[in-house]
Amino acid sequence: MIFTVAVDGPAAAGKGTIGRALADRFGLAHLDTGLLYRAVGARGGDPVVAAQSLTPADLARDDLRTLAAGEAASRVAAIPAVRAALTRFQREFARRDGGAVLDGRDIGTVICPEAEVKLFVTASPEVRAHRRWLEVGGDQEQVLAEVRARDLRDTSRADAPLKAAGDAVTLDTTMLSIDDAVQRAADLVRARLARARARP
């Protein structure tokens, strides 16, 4: 069965948590596509060469979750040749047999416009910055400034900017607990999965 769940949205909106929970609940493979861009940014040197030669070891680095790695990721993610080098792997993952959940910025718009489920997970910048600050600490105002800077870069780049697909379902987690958000997403996936399984 081919079945793709695309989970897109800005930084710290809850896409990773929702994506992992959906994959666990429905037995689907999961890919955090942000990790690919983080690994390219962290490698240093020519980002296009890094994107063309990423290895599992690059993805296993323990410094990919820092604010600095997120910042570097969003810089290299604006380079079209970097995005192109990572496209095929993501497309194949999305359409692998057994179904997959991918979270990122352009899964429903560019990587897999044919995804059976498209979610756009968002929240106010203040709430997202607060969540990020709880994880990484430091100065709250600075974390908010970095969230806003990353939003601006991700939404304004020319190639595959962050935006909701026309047929995506938006989940605004500003006032929603993560459990409620997962529940709503799971209800949608369950319904579409039943339809996909009934396909001849």
Which residues form the interface with ligand C5P (CB under 6 A)? 11, 33-34, 37-38, 70, 73-74, 77, 104-106, 150, 154
Q: What is the DSSP string of the chain?
A: ---EEEEE-STTSSHHHHHHHHHHHHT-EEEETHHHHHHHHHH-S-HHHHHHT--HHHHT-TTTTSHHHHHHHHHHTT-HHHHHHHHHHHHHHHT-TT-EEEEESSIIIII-TT-SEEEEEE--HHHHHHHHHHHH-S-HHHHHHHHHHHHHHHHH-SSS-S---TTPEEEE-SSS-HHHHHHHHHHHHHHHHHHHHT--
CA-nearest of 128, 169, 131 to 149 is 128
Closer residue to ligand C5P in complex, CB, 19/99: 19
Quote the least distance from Cβ 185 to ligand C5P, whole Å. Answer: 17
Quote the least distance from Cβ 38 to ligand C5P, whole Å. Answer: 5
Closer residue to ligand C5P in complex, CB, 114/187: 114
Quote the least distance from Cβ 195 to ligand C5P, whole Å. Answer: 26
Quote the least distance from Cβ 15 to ligand C5P, whole Å. Answer: 7
Closer residue to ligand C5P in complex, CB, 14/104: 104
Closer residue to ligand C5P in complex, CB, 56/200: 56
Quote the least distance from Cβ 43 to ligand C5P, whole Å. Answer: 14
Closer residue to ligand C5P in complex, CB, 70/125: 70
